[in-house]
Amino acid sequence: MNQTAAAAPDPIATLLLLAAGGSSAARRGLLEQHGSAAAALAAGARAWTAAELSPPQIARLRAPADAAAWAAAGWPGDTGERLLAWLGDSNHHLIEWTSPDYPALLRRAPNPPLALFVAGEPGLLWHPAVAVVGSRSPTPGGQDNAADFARALARSGLAVASGLAAGIDAAAHRAALDAGGLTVAVLGTGPDLAYPRRHGELLQRIAADGAVVSEYPPGTPARPEHFPSRNRILAGLSLGTLVIEAAERSGALITARLASECGREVFAVPGSIHNPLARGCHRLIREGAGLVESASEVVAALAPMAAELADGLRRRLAAPINLGHALVTHGDHDGSSPVSGAAEPSDFADPDYQSLWNALGHDPTGMDQLVERTGLTTAELSSMLLVMELEGLVAAQHGRYFRNR
């Protein structure tokens, strides 16, 4: 593939930069100038001052990477050791702001995080997604609506994103997984802690078959101030936000507002005028949110943005604008127009794509087998599979991939 491999981040240097607190914009500028947290720290106080870091931030960067530094950031004293142990699992990832794997949609959102801790498949953060949010104590009808919408969205090829909270969030995650679709959980804790705790099994299931993402390092407990920040990431990662049920004062409405501030679509499901959990949705509709009665309406509204995201992913990979143009086919087709319909390609112009296509079969194949068969890395394969999914050549089910029949 025509892409430059990024150096693996230094997790302790990244932690120190995160623990410095204060203005994120200044620290993002420092990262952009120096390329990584390790290089930014090595640049020294003069560079930190030039990047307009505040005196308290500079003092924190000068402090040793120890329990006191982590405690000052509100993290457990063993955060450094815990992070290194957590990253020892091949399914766990740290994505810095300067990484080419940092999700494009989130990068364009207001105040994006400096780093993401991801359990599961980080490539899913590039996948077109809809945030499905709502009440923690929904009505039975609201719970059913959340499951129905999430199931249909997942079957349409969109990922379902939510916050792992009780009620609507959990119903949406479970329905997407049960449909064999993709789901992303954005947490207000570290990526290893479920909140509420009873969702521990659901968290593990999402990490195995989807992606769990947090801006907080492993071991970070839930705090009230974390959840508005969690909501901004959820809104920033998604093409649109769908509110199923919400009271007039609701965290779901915060997510919807943040989505609007990101320039993303907001949808709301109407309800009975006698249902207090419909009032938030009705308020959103009065303020301009799209009134939707089916998932197909959401899919149709987001199709242009999904295509734009796919183009961005292809540019990120220096991949063909349409994989059909990258095919050298046999028979009467002259290669001058994209291959369409059910015809299977026989040769790709890019040898890595050809190797992946040869490694795929009509039966679901796991990522480990694809790595073994192709010699490509998990990161490379994830990005390529996303492109091929968006082109309709590959389908995914429970974290396994196969040729789309």
Does residue 261 share a domain with residue 186?
A: yes
Q: Is the dihedral of CA 351, 355, 360, 361 positive or negative?
A: positive
Concatenated DSSP letters for 134-197? --SS--HHHHHHHHHHHHHHHHTT-EEEE---TTHHHHHHHHHHHTT--EEEE-SS-TT--SSG
Structural domain includes residue 95: no
Query: Residue 130 sits in a domain of what CATH number?
Result: 3.40.50.450
Query: Under a CB-based contact definition with an 8 Å cutoff, are residues 138 and 115 in contact?
Result: no
**Structure-token pair, residue 315:** 């540019």
Does residue 137 share a domain with residue 280?
A: yes
Does residue 150 share a domain with residue 281?
A: yes
The separation between the first and the last C-alpha atoms of the chain, rounded to the nearest angstrom, is 26
pLDDT value, residue 311: 64
Does residue 214 share a domain with residue 168?
A: yes
Number of domain units in the chain: 3
Does residue 292 share a domain with residue 323?
A: no
Q: Are strands 240-243 and 92-96 parallel, antiparallel or unpaired?
A: unpaired
Does residue 377 share a domain with residue 336?
A: yes
Helical packing angle, 168-178 and 200-209, nearest 10°: 40
Q: What string of pLDDT tens digits covers the 405 residues of the chain?
A: 333 334 567 999 999 999 999 989 999 999 999 999 999 999 999 999 999 999 999 999 999 999 999 999 999 999 999 999 999 999 999 999 999 889 989 998 988 999 999 999 998 898 899 999 999 999 999 999 999 999 999 998 899 999 999 999 999 999 999 999 999 999 999 999 999 999 999 999 999 999 999 999 999 999 988 998 999 999 999 999 999 999 988 889 999 999 998 889 999 999 999 999 999 999 999 999 999 999 999 999 998 877 776 666 666 555 443 443 333 333 333 333 233 333 355 567 778 888 898 888 777 888 888 888 998 876 677 767 877 776 678 887 766 788 876
Query: Under a CB-based contact definition with an 8 Å cutoff, are residues 266 and 254 in contact?
Result: no
Q: In which domain, by residue range, is 138 found?
A: 122-303
Measured CA to CA, the distance from residue 33 to residue 105 in angstroms comes to 21
Structural domain includes residue 97: no
User: For the CA atoms of 210, 126, 170, 195, what is the dihedral angle to 10 degrees?
Assistant: 90
Structural domain includes residue 222: yes
Q: What is the pTM of this model?
A: 0.78
pLDDT value, residue 8: 61
Measured CA to CA, the distance from residue 95 to residue 126 in angstroms comes to 13
Three-state DSSP at 108 gives coil
